[in-house]
A and B are shown apart, each in its own frame.
Chain A
Amino acid sequence: MTDTELVTVDGVWNFQYRYFAGETASRFFAELRDERRIVGRRCPGCQRVLVPARSWCDRCFLATTEWVAVGTEGVVEAFTVLTAAFPGLPEPPLAIAYVTLDGAGTALLNFVDGLDLADIDASAALLLDRPRVEVMFHDERHGRMTDFHFRLKD
């Protein structure tokens, strides 16, 4: 057995999908694309505004009832800067952060710019201080989460 040449068989997974966002996320994306607004859904129980929008609150187990436009500025809750390249993922460096927008009860994730990513340590030091950021809506919007990103406030 020890002299046996070990066989490996090549394979690839490349399935096509269409992910269904559902009614609530679809409205969230329409507001983003058409009105340049970030909207959430208020829970009638805990009064949290869930952003991005969801149709039910998994704390109170109640259907959310009200659309609320939240602020276009907020605070960084947690962040990282991707610095290594991985096959199939976008080219680094890329800063991402969870941000709680003013008026929102939860945080949403997106890219952050306005940083000098040539200096990772300095960028990290800035982001560690939980800085404020603003939402930058892109000129071309497609009704996707990638229609905006965050920018560090001065």
Chain B
Amino acid sequence: MAIAGVGQTPYRRAHADASTGDLVFRAVSEALNDAGFDRGDVDAVVAGVAPDALAGVNCIEKSVIGAAAPPGAPFFRVNTGGATGSSAMLAAMTLVAAGRADVVVAFALERMGQAVTSQQVFNTIFDPIYEKDFVLTTITMAALRASLLMARYGYTERHWAALAARNHRLALKNPLAHLHRDLTVEAVLESPLLAWPIHLYEACPMSEGACALVIAAGDRLPGRGPVAWVHGAASYSDSYAMGDRFDRPEGTLVDLVTLRRAAEVAYRQAGIADPAKEIDVVEIHAPFSSAEVMAYPPLGLCTPEDGPAYVDALIDGDAGGGSGGGGPGPVVNPSGGPMAANPVSATAMIRIAECALQVRGAAGDRQVDGARRAVATGQGGATQFSSACVLAAEPPGGP
């Protein structure tokens, strides 16, 4: 099967000029037009929407079914926190693989621009009995991991700042990104400290928008335009309690056990033995620069111990050109990643959409020359959910 179409609204702090239905209508219409299908071809719809309180509307997806497909299509909502968008894609794939649908629209909707503040909402996703009192939010949960990475592997505050500056610079070429900031490492380090060691410019913004994918069975695709073939995709879950993930054989809180399993399976399905050499583009779902490094070892880009050196090489590789292509191995985050736009429900789907555009050679100014194979990650629920999705220009088994 393949991703036959991609549709994205721009991602902005708020789309005050658009209703929720407008956002979904635009993204889904663009994806269907891109695929050469119309709404009558849609067999099922999967909606990705993360916590309702971000938009302040309960079950907001119910109100926008009509923007995606005609009445009658089976409809499912998926929510795995930050991984919602990739989980929606995997659910859509599962419907196709099971023979229950040939053409599925998966859309992910984020309306958090309506929230006056998000951290208070994010505090409510944590356990109210044992943990919520201790200012757990998306920022502090990321900061707990960042400090552990520093203690364990020797990352420094400068690594976080340099990676943030790199992602923001790459986003300058992405018109869909919410933030377009050309920042020096010093400027990042001088931005306000949110929760040690995370500074404001090392944290994702609040963004809203919609992303849509058309997933279609291979036998529905002959004669259509270039598509992004799915070569491998997997998603795994982990134990909930963060405190249970320090002392255990499978890996600590910063080892992303779930992403390691997902990448292993997706690579095996795709026949990839040496990911650092065989993959051209990586889109990592990391809303904080410090979170990005946790994905490198599971993706096979470096060992955990070599992480700081890998970051240094990534930064050095950008020196001069700033295209993101001079580093070791694949190009990481040509879109700028979630640092420049984080519409929570959609962010993991955007990684897949960006990889689809890359392997089709349709990524505009952010296109990586000669990209044929790409991997997208999804990450959610306090590193509880991970997915990996390998896309390529050629169908599995060759053209």
Cα–Cα, bound, A35→B325 (Å): 61
**A118 in the interface, Cβ–Cβ < 8 Å?**
no
Q: Give the distance in Å from the alpha carbon of A145 to the alpha carbon of B244 in the complex.
A: 17
Q: How many contacting A-B pairs (Cβ < 8 A)?
A: 134
Contacts A8-B16, A11-B56, A96-B134; A87 near B244 (Cβ below 8 A): no
Would you call A83 and B195 a contact (CB within 8 A)? yes
Are A25 and B129 in contact, CB atoms less than 8 angstroms apart? yes
| Interface residue B150 (Cβ < 8 Å from any Cβ of A) | yes
Select one of B53, B147, B239 contacting A79, CB under 8 A: B147
Interface string of A99-133 (1 = CB under 8 A from B): 01000011111110000000010011001111000
Taking a contact as CB atoms under 8 Å apart, the answer to whether B242 and A98 are in contact is: yes
The reply to whether B120 and A106 form a contact with Cβ atoms under 8 Å apart is: no
Q: Are A80 and B147 in contact (CB under 8 A)?
A: yes
Q: How far is the CB of A10 from chain B (nearest CB, A)?
A: 10
Interface pair A90/B247, CB less than 8 Å apart: no
CA separation between A83 and B53, bound complex, in Å?
25
Tell me which of B131, B137, B140, B241 contacts A145 (CB under 8 A). B131
Whether B144 lies near A79 (C-beta < 8 A) is: yes
Q: What bracket does the count of chain A residues touching chain B fall in?
A: 35 or more
Contact A19-B128, Cβ < 8 Å, known A11-B56, A58-B239, A78-B145: yes
Q: Within 8 Å CB of B196, what residues of A?
A: 80-81, 83, 120, 123-124
Judge whether A124 and B147 touch: CB under 8 Å: yes
The reply to whether A94 and B135 contact each other, CB–CB distance below 8 Å, is yes
**Cα–Cα, bound, A52→B127 (Å):** 12
Contacting residues, chain A, for B56 (C-beta < 8 A): 11, 13
The verdict on A128 contacting B151 (CB below 8 Å), with A8-B16, A84-B193, A107-B243 known, is yes
CB of B123 closer than 8 Å to a CB of A: yes
Near B by CB (< 8 A), chain A positions 43-92 give 50-52, 54, 58-59, 77-84, 86-90
Contacts of B239 in A (CB 8 A): 58-59
| Chain B nearest CB, measured from A16 CB (Å) | 13
Residue of B nearest to A88 (CB): B120
Which residues in A have their C-beta under 8 angstroms from that of B380? none
Q: How far is the CA of A96 from the CA of B131 in the complex (A)?
A: 11
Whether the Cβ atoms of B193 and A83 lie closer than 8 Å is: yes
Contact with A along B115-154 (1 / 0, CB 8 A): 0110110010000111101111101100111111011000
Q: Which of A79, A86, A130, A144 contacts B120 (CB 8 A)?
A: A86
State whether A106 touches B241 (Cβ < 8 A).
yes
- Contact call A100/B247, Cβ cutoff below 8 A: yes
Given A98-B243, A127-B147, does the pair A78, B253 have CB atoms closer than 8 Å? Answer: yes
Q: Are A86 and B117 also in contact (CB < 8 A) when A78-B145, A109-B136 are? A: yes
Encode A17-38 as 1/0 by CB contact (under 8 A) with B.
1010110010000000000000
Q: What residues of chain B lie closer than 8 Å to A120, measured between beta carbons?
A: 193, 196
Query: A87 touching B148 by the CB < 8 A rule?
Result: no
Q: Which residue of A lies closest to B141 (CB)?
A: A80
* Distance between B121 CB and nearest chain A CB, rounded to angstroms: 9
User: A50 contacts B247, CB within 8 Å?
Assistant: no
Q: Is the CB of A81 within 8 A of B130?
A: no
Sample of 8 further A-B pairs with CB below 8 A, known A52-B243, A87-B117, A98-B242: A6-B16, A21-B129, A25-B129, A59-B239, A88-B123, A120-B193, A128-B150, A146-B133
Residues of A near any B CB (own CB < 8 A): 6, 8, 11, 13, 17, 19, 21-22, 25, 50-52, 54, 58-59, 77-84, 86-90, 94, 96, 98, 100, 105-111, 120, 123-124, 127-130, 144-146
Q: 7 A-B contacts, Cβ less than 8 Å apart?
A: A54-B241, A77-B148, A87-B116, A106-B241, A106-B243, A106-B247, A128-B151
